[in-house]
Structure 1
């Protein structure tokens, strides 16, 4: 079964090109170790929230932008083996050496974790991505998945090219930031990492307007929508 590593990062706006260069240098290592897909997506339409949002998730400072990224693996075993190998490569492969390919962002505020896909509908990712984080009760997993399965074909009807929902599996606590804090997760809740891909922003904007007016989307959400984190991003690195 496929597996996903999700990331959210705060990057100084002036380091955008450095971030792209860093990712284009380091990301091929993941592909060599078995990853099947990598996207690095730069903030485009990321709103401030009342309780939670992407900026708070990574403690964004003045002049920083949010990056929403993920790595897809054929299975968790391949991912775990790759991460172990990556540790060994830190001092031997210049692509993974912080001294030779330094991170153009504060790694202490990066949030990351492993997620098991529950649903993956559609084909390839498009030129625009809506990223989401949500806190869902462990007992509410089936209800959440049922809700997502009903919504996915409607998104596709309005132009979305891919809808992915992934359940928190290996999501560590961080010293400053982490996925659980990002959605103010409580005891008995898991973090869901998901995205909707669109062919372009225009289709996305029109699609959301139609979704909001569609009676098929009416009804209660099986999670606390007030703690859901969301925003629109443009891919800048794609492997």
Structure 2
């Protein structure tokens, strides 16, 4: 199944256009190395959490906006080969030098998609989610994910992806484990729901949340919902 390289980054709000131009300039380069799809999503409805949230995940300041983005590869082998080639390509250094954001606070990791429902076409809005799951609960988590994905797709969403942490490095300032407050052997899950636009998402989400398939009691969830971070993002690039 698809292999995901997932990113979360804090971008100065004033640099939105510069960020988009920077990302757009990288599209052909990334395709050259096997990236099948690149999606960039600008923070729109990103709530403050009680324990953790997207802003805290990347130490975003008041004048920064959180970006949720990912690359898709056909499989892990393609991603690993691409990463090795990119690290020896001088264009990578040039791209790094021109980043319109603080790369030292960016979190990134490799994730193996376990659930992929729907079609990646016409995305205009994304709900992004990060949460910790115990390996003992992996099967139960993805069984639940398959069930609730149907509720999203029946109420306007066009694609649902749930991906299991595979290559999740520890960072000096920020990383996925700290973002999700992972403890012990918990693994970070990176997931999202794609919608055609915000209006469809806003109309569909109440129906999703009232669906019987979403009514699992908190005590029976195969993860700690209190440490799940989530937000709504406007898609600014889908290549």
Q: TM-score range by the shorter chain?
A: over 0.9
- Could you list the structure 1 runs, at least 4 aligned residues long, displaced by more than 4 angstroms after superposition: none
Cα-to-partner distance string for 1:169-226 (whole Å, 9 max, x where unaligned) = 0000000100000010001100000000011111111211112222232123211111
Cα-to-partner distance string for 1:93-125 (whole Å, 9 max, x where unaligned) = 3x75147x6000000000000000000000015
Cα-to-partner distance string for 1:127-149 (whole Å, 9 max, x where unaligned) = 11000001000100001001101
The range that moved more, 34-43 or 201-210, is: 201-210
Q: Counterpart of 1:177? A: 174
Q: Counterpart of 2:140? A: 143
Q: Counterpart of 2:214? A: 217
CA contact (8 A) 1:26 1:96 kept: no
Q: Which runs of 5+ in 1 are unaligned?
A: none
| Number of residue equivalences | 235
Give 1:29 shift: 1.3
Q: 1:216 to 1:2 in 2, by over 3 A?
A: closer
Q: Which runs of 5+ in 2 are unaligned?
A: none
Partner Cα distance (1:79, 1:213) in 2: 38
How big is the alpha-carbon RMSD for the aligned residues of Structure 1 and Structure 2?
Answer: 1.3
The range that moved more, 79-88 or 39-48, is: 79-88
SS in structure 2 opposite 1:97?
helix
TM-score by length of 1: 0.95
Q: Counterpart of 1:118? A: 114
